[in-house]
Amino acid sequence: MAAPATGTTYAGAAARTSQHERTSEAGLLRGAGARGAGLAVAALVTAAVALASLLVGREVLSPADVYAAYADFTGSDTDLIVTHLRVPRTLAGVGVGVALGVAGAVVQGVTRNPLGGPGILGVNVGASLAAVLAITFLGVTAVNGYVWFAFVGAAVATVVVYGVASLGSDGVTPVKLALAGAAMSALLGSVTSAVILRDRTSLDEYRFWSVGSLAGAESQMLAQALPFAAVGLVMAVALVRQLNALALGDELAQALGLRLWLVRLLGGVTVVLLAGTATAAAGPIGFLGLAVPHAARALAGPDYRWIVPWTAVLSPALLLTADIVGRVAVRPEELQVGIVMALVGAPVFIYLVRRQRRAGM
């Protein structure tokens, strides 16, 4: 039986990780001071992007307009745009960005798969199928209605993927988890396609949600989703030392007292809470949870005590930037943020992978 985990053993794991960082995967920013200062600058950049998200759109606003909408609300078109559209949309971008980015970092840590993202656990396909079933068979057409079906679908799909991956005497392994996720994605994706192709109404409702968008965000929905995402974020922060130990390999992690099954189970719950909530609220948005943890790792190194906060700061900046681009690129129409993220995220991810390969990682 593995020895119980202690602070000393995890401190040892962190020390080993730090040694590993110095020898092979050190980020561009060396030392805690540089990383902390860089993180503060990144937070300021994210705040500036959030402000731009409030001001830029079909109607260009000023900071004074945003302030007056709350300090001196008159019910004008500008006030309604600020309070009912821009602020909920920006808050959704921040929340969804943090949730998807951190979920991707946790998936990559738990599976030790650099190509891992929330989709590898079946989150996206589970949420999509549940939303389609709610639209088709229950007649749910409001976004506030089927987002919760999507959340439940993401949770059920993740549980099934984890259950299938745990079959066998060796329990859950990163490879089995990836294979089970791929198989579940293919199966549920086929069922989703079969359902929407038989019903034109379901197809019309589903296709707007499935591309991923922040435009339909509402304050009530954000308030309901916030507790789930907050719990997931706290769990992710609590897991960073265990993820550092897991990065050393299963055998060494067990020797340090890590209960692998427990860490992977808690990691799966964390991903469901974060990615499930984000996907239910905004639809499937790809590449964010895949590419941003790589960028955080390239800047701050492989220590998850830095990867998680860096990812939490960089992800909303990238998502809101993509949303702003989508508002102005094809005026007066808009491109959904999921489409822009796919266009921007794919080449960025390819660059990061090629950079790591050249570095021999």
Q: Is position 42 within any domain?
A: yes
Domain extent for 123: 33-360
Q: State the first-to-last Cα distance of the chain, in angstroms, to the nearest integer.
A: 33
Q: Are 274 and 259 in contact (CB under 8 A)?
A: no
CA atoms within 13 A on the CB side of 280: 28
Tell me the range of 9-23, 180-194, 195-209 where mean pLDDT is highest: 180-194
Cβ count near 142 (within 10 Å): 9
- d(CA 276, CA 288) in angstroms, rounded, equals 14
Backbone CA torsion sign across 315, 326, 276, 154: negative
Cβ count near 36 (within 10 Å): 14
Comparing CA positions, the residue from 79, 287, 260, 239 lying closest to residue 174 is 260
- Which burial class, exposed, middle or buried, applies to 8 when counting CB atoms under 10 A from its CB (0-12, 13-18, 19+)? exposed
> What is the tens place of the pLDDT at every residue in 121-130?
777 788 888 8
Q: Is position 141 within any domain?
A: yes
Question: How many independent structural domains does the chain possess?
Answer: 1
> What is the tens place of the pLDDT at every residue in 22-61?
444 577 888 888 999 999 999 999 999 999 999 998 888 9
Residues belonging to the chain: 361
State mean pLDDT over 109-137: 78
- d(CA 104, CA 100) in angstroms, rounded, equals 6
- Global pTM value: 0.82
State mean pLDDT over 288-314: 91
Q: Is position 24 within any domain?
A: no
Q: Is position 307 within any domain?
A: yes
Q: Are 177 and 120 in contact (CB under 8 A)?
A: yes
Q: Is position 2 within any domain?
A: no
Q: Is position 268 within any domain?
A: yes
CATH number, domain at 351? Answer: 1.10.3470.10
Q: Is position 283 within any domain?
A: yes
